[in-house]
Amino acid sequence: MLDALAHTLRRHPGRPAVLGTTRTGAVRTQATYGELADLADRYTAALHARGVARGGTVGVAVRPGPRALAVMLAVHRLGARAAVLDPGAGPDVLRARLALARPDVVLADATAQAVAGWARPLARRARLALPDLAELGPVATVGPRLPGCAPALDGGIRAVPLPPPVDGDGDAVIVFTSGTTSRPRAVVHTRSSLAAGMATVAELVRPEAGRPVLGGTFFVLLPSLASGAPVALPARSAPVLRRQLRRLAPQATYLTPPQLRRLLVAGARFSGRVWTGSAPASAELLTRVKRAGADEAWGVYALTELFPAAAVEQADKAAFTGEGDLVGAPLPGVAAKTDASGELLLAGPAARDRYLGEDPDPWVATGDRARLDDGRIVLEGRRKDMILRHAENIYPGLYEPALHVPGVELALLVGVPAGDSDERLVAVVQPGPGADRDALRAALEGPLERMGTARPDAVLLADIPLSGRSLKPDRAATARLAADRLATTRLAARRLSGRRLSGRSRG
């Protein structure tokens, strides 16, 4: 796919490639196909001059956009691998991760370097933090430089013959996913697994040349551009993004569930096919997206280790009446099975090769409990999220989809310590904007009754905390919120009871 894109860039140099937007939603071209190709060539020459070659590692701290894409093309051409840096991970974690990856050079834009330097106090407010990048290896600036930035990557590079593209397989990208400071864990994708994943996306989305696609992820950018479709980077502000959608009328849109929810509140209208992933997408959310104009609304089940794995359209998801979360049939080439504990295992050409520092393994352990229903994957919750109540194991993911009745934005089942290693089961439900809370509680009675022995001890209506770059529901924070709310309620009840008793004794 990357090789195909490199050829496409040269065949249509004047075609818009990456699109941005103004505050009014007007479309502006950030880079044409030819400009992307020239940028990739400059970065290739500059990295080659620095000694980066097949088997090397390049740390990348560059915001999504034309420069980040050109960096990936250059790294791919040289046969090196890119180690992706996440500013939200924290300095200590990043030091540990990069010590494991050992980059030959770290490429960073001015924003990333500011976060690591003079703008560190401001960045902390946005929960961004980087160590001094020079601690991680030699640093070069990609894009415009600010005072204090490292030298430009392509500064002083003259026109020189480019090395021939590296052919064959090998490591392509390292993405850190979890682990501790002392033992970081990173997914390693090869050139072949990356190509297989992008080919699956292209077959799934079927982008048409000349019609824009809205989305900012690497797996949206590459297949779309290789098919001749320009890609618009989504605006961060919901009102601007709403105007951007109206002006752009994209053939396909890929946004996270939190982005979709904010857009729906802002009154956005959709066009074409809408795709969402990175966090759970309920049938209710997909239904609202279709009501807002989308021809189709798809939920994508994907992992860093295998992207994408399965997909389901709103009509199928809404028609599913079983327990658990239907995420669809495995996509072509993806094999699925469950082990003795019920954990879902996946394999296929797009699966990661290995974890950094570990041996290759064809099967990806997802951490999700699941069952296969007529060949479709139905999730039953994360293994680690199990709640123990009255000696019964309860898996929240088995019951949470049923709580997404009309008017519910998000819903989680969490455990709150109840003494003697037992837990209270609490449903935390986030109402949608303008929802009638009394009507919502009444609508929840049916699903709660059908939960049988898994019926929660309490139902709280509250905003569910989100975390991470994709703003997934934060179970740990939600459990703390539930514990605090219940404790406050119990304290208020005791005080009221004490006042009543006091009043009786005075009488």
18-54 pLDDT, tens digit each: 999 999 999 999 999 999 999 999 999 999 999 999 9
237-276 pLDDT, tens digit each: 999 999 999 999 999 999 998 899 999 999 999 999 999 9
* 3 state DSSP class of 340: coil
Instruction: State residue 96's pLDDT score.
Output: 80
283-314 pLDDT, tens digit each: 999 999 999 999 999 999 999 999 999 999 99
Instruction: State residue 94's pLDDT score.
Output: 73
Q: How far apart are CA 286 and CA 323, in angstroms?
A: 18
CB 228 within 8 A of CB 251: no
Please give the average per-residue pLDDT across 86-95, as a whole number: 67
Instruction: State residue 366's pLDDT score.
Output: 94
Residue 126 pLDDT class (50, 70, 90 cuts): very low
Neighbour-count burial of 126, counting CB atoms closer than 10 A to its CB (0-12 exposed, 13-18 middle, 19+ buried): exposed
Instruction: State residue 161's pLDDT score.
Output: 82
Neighbour-count burial of 50, counting CB atoms closer than 10 A to its CB (0-12 exposed, 13-18 middle, 19+ buried): middle
CB 148 within 8 A of CB 113: yes
Instruction: State residue 157's pLDDT score.
Output: 72
CB 396 within 8 A of CB 412: yes
Instruction: State residue 34's pLDDT score.
Output: 96
The full DSSP string for 362-396 is SSEEEEEEEEEETTEEEEEEEGGG-EEETTEEE-G
Q: Name the nearest CA neighbour of 259 among 236, 291, 282.
A: 236
Q: Name the nearest CA neighbour of 130 among 120, 119, 116.
A: 116
Instruction: State residue 258's pLDDT score.
Output: 87
Write the DSSP symbol of residue 85: -
Please give the average per-residue pLDDT across 488-493, as a whole number: 72
Please give the average per-residue pLDDT across 334-343, as a whole number: 96
* 3 state DSSP class of 409: strand
Q: What are phi and psi of 218, to 5 degrees?
A: -55, -40
Q: What is the percent of the chain where pLDDT is above 90?
A: 63
Of the listed ranges 62-76, 152-166, 439-453, 477-491, the least confidently predicted one is 152-166
Task: Give me the chain's average pLDDT, please.
Answer: 88
Q: How far apart are CA 150 and CA 24, in angstroms?
A: 35
Residue 391 pLDDT class (50, 70, 90 cuts): low
* 3 state DSSP class of 237: coil
Residue 118, pLDDT above cutoff 90: no
Write the DSSP symbol of residue 469: T
CB 234 within 8 A of CB 215: yes
Instruction: State residue 502's pLDDT score.
Output: 55
> pTM score, two decimals?
0.81
The CA-based angle 88-91-92, given to 5 degrees, is 120
C-alpha neighbours within 13 Å on the C-beta side of residue 38: 11
Q: Do strands 273-276 and 252-254 pair parallel, antiparallel, or not at all (unpaired)?
A: parallel
Instruction: State residue 122's pLDDT score.
Output: 47
Which residues lie below 8 Å from residue 212, measured CB to CB, with a gap of 6+? 19, 27, 229, 230, 231, 232, 248, 249, 250, 251
Instruction: State residue 180's pLDDT score.
Output: 60
The full DSSP string for 128-139 is -----GGGTS-E
CB 107 within 8 A of CB 82: no
Instruction: State residue 127's pLDDT score.
Output: 47
For residue 448, CA distances in Å to 125, 190, 369, 458 come to 39, 46, 21, 11
- Comparing 381 with 319, the larger pLDDT belongs to 319
CB 53 within 8 A of CB 59: no
Please give the average per-residue pLDDT across 353-380, as a whole number: 94
Q: Which two tokens stand for residue 168?
A: 């064959």
Please give the average per-residue pLDDT across 217-236, as a whole number: 92
